[in-house]
Amino acid sequence: MYKQSNLDTSLNKLIIIGAGGFGKEVLWLIRDLRQAHPDFPEPLGFADSQPSTPEIQGLPVLGSDSHLLRQLDPRSTGFVIAIGSSSLRARIAQVWESAGFQAITCIHPSVRHSEYISIGAGSVLCAGSTLTTDIHIGRHVILNLHCTVGHDCRIEDFCTVAPGVHISGGVEIESGCEIGTGAVLLPGISAGKNCKLGAGAVATRSLQAGVTYAGVPARPIHKEPAA
């Protein structure tokens, strides 16, 4: 059986929420995963409230979340959210989980990590990433292609880490942060809730909550507008 400690073994199907570009990539991930672990839940289709196509690579786009929440049985069907926006993922997870659906963790078979790592439900770890030891990955985190995560890191719920990001040892990234493609975080720094780090940035100091940073070394570019 595919190992997900909190997964109810009667779940044998899953819905991919989000029929955009990342949805397609997650479908590829899941198809690879099912080749390695044939009992991993079978994708039934995509949920998307504004679908631009009726099917993607042979898998149907089944309709909106609200429609599917009424149609599907949470005892047999789980979900994974294939959407890059951290805040949108948090809202969608809340809706599906309060309706009783379980989030399914999707880890590409090429991802390497030690046994000293915890990964929360619904997280997606894409091909080629390497995570070493004493690492905590929260719920609904995306770790995109070819990232590295060093020892003693925490990446909390709903963080989005784009391709090719290097997270040094002892880094703490609080919930809802978005880290752009190819960014680097130096050892021991922390990133406050909902902050953003631009593509190609090097974070040499800790990042404040809600602030957007870019450049080398990373500097604030503007504050998030007040909610």
Ligand X SMILES: CC(C)(COP(=O)(O)OP(=O)(O)OC[C@H]1O[C@@H](n2cnc3c(N)ncnc32)[C@H](O)[C@@H]1OP(=O)(O)O)[C@@H](O)C(=O)NCCC(=O)NCCS
Cβ at position 162, least distance to ligand X in Å: 4
> What does the per-residue mask of binding to ligand X show for 149-188, with x meaning CB under 6 A?
-------------xx----------------xx-------
The separation between CA 16 and the C-alpha centre of its own chain, rounded to angstroms, equals 12
User: Applying CB under 6 A, does 100 fall inside the site for ligand X?
Assistant: no
Nearest to 212 by CA among 203, 201, 220, 202: 220
Nearest to 108 by CA among 46, 163, 36, 162: 36
User: Applying CB under 6 A, does 90 fall inside the site for ligand X?
Assistant: no
> What does the per-residue mask of binding to ligand X show for 123-152, with x meaning CB under 6 A?
---------------------x--------
CA distances from 205 to 76, 113, 164, 187, 216 (A): 45, 26, 20, 9, 11
Distance in angstroms between the alpha carbons of the first and the last residue of the chain: 44
Contacts of 110 (CB under 8 A, 6+ apart): 32, 127, 128
Q: Pick the closer one to ligand X by CB: 44 or 141.
A: 141
Stretch that binds ligand X, among 3-11, 38-46, 108-116, 207-215 (CB under 6 A): 207-215
Residues 16, 80 contacting (CB under 8 angstroms): yes
Q: Pick the closer one to ligand X by CB: 68 or 124.
A: 124
Which residues bind to ligand X, rule: CB under 6 A? Answer: 144, 162-163, 180-181, 196, 198-201, 212, 214-215, 221
